[in-house]
Structure 1
Amino acid sequence: MKKLFLLCLVMGVAAHSFAQTADLDVTVRELTRQQAAVGQLIYLENPSIGLTQSAQTDANGKVLFRSLPLNGTYRLFTKETDTYLESSADNIDLRANFRRGVTLLLPSKREVNLAEVKVSTSASRINTTNAEVSSEITSKQVEELPVEGRDITRVLYRLPNVSQATGFFAEAPNVSINGANALFNNYLIDGMDNNERFLGGQKFAIPVGFVRNVSVLTNNYSVEFGNTGNGIINITSKSGSNQTTGEVFLLSRPGSVIDAQTSYPLRDLSGNQVKDGFARYQGGFGIGGALVKNKTFYYLNVEHTTDVKDNLLNSPQLGINETVRGTNRFTYISGKIDQFWTDRFKSSIRVNVGQVAIGRQAGGLTGGIAFPSAANAQDRNSVLIASRNTYTTDRFASETNIQYSSFRWNYARPVNPNSPDVTVQDPTGQSIAYLGHPGYLFDSHENTVQLQQKFSFYRGNHTFRAGAEVISARHRLFGGVIPTAVTRFG
């Protein structure tokens, strides 16, 4: 089955950036009179990638720095003049598909005798650029918050208009926006598609270690995003800089040794229930830096999780009552290379590979008659390869993005694929054992190609934008019923 979605070709005056690079909209005002500072020279620097720019404010006291890379953090500043003292705004983070607004206040240069100085600050940030209703979590905030299993989606419950979802199947997406069905969220990485198209949800469950920031758009977002009538979860991935940074971690959740007693069922990262004694072991690393200073940057992240879980196998008629151990395995590998060919031309390539195997061993959570020969596993394997190329001038900007992705969801990979599905019954017809193949197939394969072309034209105080996106997806679904047999015992 092949689906072709030709999304929007829109053009008009807009305040929202179409680029995975970002714009920085700066307003400069006098501190005392709150009037526009006209003709003031504004400097922008990002030492982590060797970027330096400057521009003069216009008649409205504004400067627009266009198509900035997402690597590192930015600093805005002015130098002391005959009229004003110096001023600065530091540690400015940018995210994909957004124009950030910053107001810089210039203190007038004069002598005043002060009896008292009071300094105050506020962590609040109001979006004065457009009508988008959104919220954001940075990587620093994620590091300071408790996150179960380093799963970034479990941090989002702390944001406004976001709540935990309960789906009609265990593996359903766990984030609901504005109370709507979680299957209809639009998941993006660097502004590009990350949606599984059979039932909904993520293809690649990006881990904490590869996240620069995550934004949740709940209302009034640009037509650029589309593909949903619900909310948008847009993750900006990490990039390298001139400074080599990284992390190495090893985490353990040993289970019953430290677990408190609870009457509520626990769930693993896949959403399936587990019993007391569930244990988790995680390890991984991330490293980023420069291959060529100010030119070529890299970031690599590898994370693995193993869950250990027990089921109970009990069949009194057969004298069986034992604990059966199973495992879940999650491996996520992500890499990114950014290349600055010139000041105007930049490229990047990103690769994400996910290998997930959710074990379904014998028995059941509180007891069951499925024997080890009837065990199976659920596979959720994904590959995303994305390339971005941007070219900018003072009057024009172009961005060309292409991504290939594949996703395989094998819902019941059997331990014994060539055996029949066998049910053992006692003389009364009561089932006392399940053996062999689990009895059904559900194996979905998806291959998707995405192409984005975006243009921006700058004329005075106006920005004209146009863009087109094509998504071509091919699905194959394998399924069916396996031959069954019934055997009487006794």
Structure 2
Amino acid sequence: MLKKLGVQIVVVLVGALFFTAYAQTTTVGTISGTVRDEKGAVVPKAEVSIQGEGTGTSRTVKSDDNGFYLAPSLPAGLYTVSTAPSGFKKTVATAVDLHVAENKVVNLDLQVGQVSETVTVSSNAAPVETRSGEISSLITEKQVTELPLNGRNYAQLALMVPGVSPVTQAGAGGAFGTAGTGLDSHVDMSVNGNQSNANMWTVDGVNNMDVGSNATLLIFPSVDSIQEFRVERNSFSAEYGQAQGAVINLITKGGSNQFHGAGFEFIRSDKLNATDFFL
């Protein structure tokens, strides 16, 4: 009897671990590309170095027989991608800005020459996603910190995304309102015509929804701690389960090699309001 009970407990614990992992979403990105020479021929077995500009962390991968290299599971941030095969100049791509849940393509075109010579490539052009059919919108750190927010609640920024419509009349789920916190703050919004409670909000990969109503958030990270968030609204990966409408995937800031910080003063008082013209 005790042995049978022990087996049942183990099954329950394994199931709990499975469902816990299922509720997580990705918080990293991927850098990949193809290494080619001046004539467009692929360069196999080339060592490609990916170095984080903020932390100095480095990862080295090799291109395959087709010249393709892949560096998965990289934290969002700025990177320098470089390679220096024998017989070619060192090619460096700087300021590669990797965002959450992004597959960044960085192709490296080599030039014949000495390894001591360096070719630096820099591009600010917005990349076109060609390896996935998902439709998403990124809300950057600049938008989070500089756009006016009532109550410093980041949820309001999701309304800027195409296809998102807030619920304006209070019903069973309540209307969209971010002035309060906890149960007083509803994030009822319809994405692409889906139900307003069919969305999933995550913070650093963990579900941030009240599972009872699926319409209120559990925590509200300070806008100063938010690095960025992505609104996945169509054709997203199967890893984003539990959502028929959209997945709002937020990541918080990490540290770097430089000391930095921020401060703010938030005050709201009717003493600062303009005088009423009729009084």
TM-score, normalised via structure 2 length:
0.71
Determine helix, strand or coil for the equivalent of 1:86: strand
Alignment of 1:242-321 (within 5 A): 242-255=257-270, 257-258=272-273
- 1:108, distance to aligned residue in structure 2 (A): 2.6
- Return 26-35 or 234-243, whichever deviates more: 26-35
List alignment gaps of at least 5 residues for structure 1.
11-17, 111-118, 262-490
Q: Which residue of 2 aligns with 1:41?
A: 47
- Alignment correspondent of 1:131: 133
- SS of the counterpart of 2:158? helix
Write the deviation string for residues 303-322 of structure 1: whole angstroms up to 9, x where unpaired.
Answer: xxxxxxxxxxxxxxxxxxxx
Tell me the residue number matched to 1:104. 107
Shift of 1:122: 5.0
What's 1:173 paired with? Answer: 187
| Contact in 1 for aligned 2:80/2:92 (Cα 8 Å) | no
Partner of 1:140: 142
Following TM superposition, by how much is the alpha carbon of 1:245 offset from its aligned partner in structure 2, in angstroms? 1.8
Correspondence 1:78-97 to 2 at 5 A: 78-79=83-84, 82-95=87-100
The secondary structure found in structure 1 opposite 2:197 is helix
Cα distance in 2 for partners of 1:31, 1:201 equals 53
Q: 1:107 to 1:173 in 2, by over 3 A?
A: same
Structure number with greater Rg is 1
SS at 2:243 equivalent? coil
Are 2:186 and 2:217, in contact at CA under 8 Å, matched by a contact in 1? no
Q: Which of 51, 55, 65 is the aligned partner of 1:59?
A: 65
Structure-2 separation of matches of 1:145 and 1:180? 27
- Aligned-partner Cα distance in 2 for 1:253–1:133: 38
1:159 corresponding residue in structure 2: 161
Give the secondary structure class of the aligned counterpart of 1:252. Answer: coil
- Cα–Cα, structure 1 residues 40 and 188, in superposed 2: closer, same or farther, change >3 Å? same
The alpha carbon displacement at 1:248 in A equals 0.5
Distance 1:235 1:23, change over 3 A: closer
Q: Kindly state the Cα deviation for residue 243 of structure 1 after the two structures are TM-superposed.
A: 2.2
Question: Equivalents in 1 of 2:108, 2:46: separation in Å?
Answer: 12
Where in structure 2 are the equivalents of 1:51-450 lying within 5 Å? 51-70=57-76, 72-79=77-84, 82-95=87-100, 98=101, 100-109=103-112, 122-168=124-170, 169-170=174-175, 171-199=185-213, 200-255=215-270, 257-258=272-273
Greater percentage in strand: 1
Alignment counterpart, residue 28 of structure 2, candidates 22, 28, 32: 22
Superposed displacement of residue 219, structure 1? 1.1
1:42 and 1:77 in contact (8 A); partners too = yes
Is the 1:28–1:104 Cα contact (8 Å) retained in structure 2? yes
- State the shift of 1:49 in Å: 3.3
Shift of 1:84: 4.2
Query: In the TM superposition, what whole-angstrom CA distance separates every residue of 1:256-289 from its partner, at most 9, and x where no partner exists?
Result: 744598xxxxxxxxxxxxxxxxxxxxxxxxxxxx
Alpha-carbon shift at residue 198 of structure 1 (Å):
2.5
Contact 1:84 1:106 in 2 (8 A): no
Change (3 A) 1:9 1:209: closer
Contact 1:23/1:64 (8 A) holds in 2:
no
Query: Per-residue displacement from partner, 1:48-88 (whole Å, max 9, x unpaired)?
Result: 43412222211222222233345x53221224853345231
More helix per residue: 2
2: CA distance between counterparts of 1:88 and 1:185? 37
Q: Could you tell me whether the CA contact under 8 Å between 1:8 and 1:224 is conserved in 2?
A: no
- SS of the equivalent of 1:141 reads helix
Q: Is the 8 A contact 2:155 2:187 kept in 1?
A: no
Note if contact 2:82-2:91 (Cα within 8 Å) is conserved in structure 1: yes
Return closer, same or farther for 1:52/1:85 CA change in 2, 3 Å cut-off: closer
Distance 1:91 1:143, change over 3 A: farther
Q: Deviations over 1:291-343 (max 9, x none)?
A: xxxxxxxxxxxxxxxxxxxxxxxxxxxxxxxxxxxxxxxxxxxxxxxxxxxxx
The Cα of 1:28 is off from its aligned counterpart by 2.4
2 CA distance for matches of 1:153 and 1:84? 47
Distance verdict in 2 for CA 1:165–1:32, change over 3 Å: farther
Q: Secondary structure at the match of 2:267?
A: strand
| Structure 1 position 45, deviation (Å) | 1.1
| Secondary structure, aligned partner of 2:224 | helix
Contact kept? 1:30, 1:108, Cα under 8 Å: no
Q: CA deviation at 1:136?
A: 1.1
Note closer, same or farther for the CA distance 1:9–1:138 as it changes in structure 2 (3 Å cut).
Answer: closer
TM (norm. structure 1) is 0.43
Q: 1: distance between equivalents of 2:33 and 2:208?
A: 35
Change (3 A) 1:167 1:63: farther
Amino acid at match of 1:194: N
The 2-side partners of 1:163 and 1:257 are apart by: 33
Output the aligned Cα RMSD.
Answer: 3.4
The answer (yes or no) to whether the contact 1:45–1:53 under 8 Å persists in 2 is: yes
* Count of residues in correspondence between the two structures: 240
Amino acid at match of 2:204: D
Matching of residues 468-479 of structure 1 within 5 Å? none
Counterpart Cα distance in 1 of 2:21 and 2:160: 35
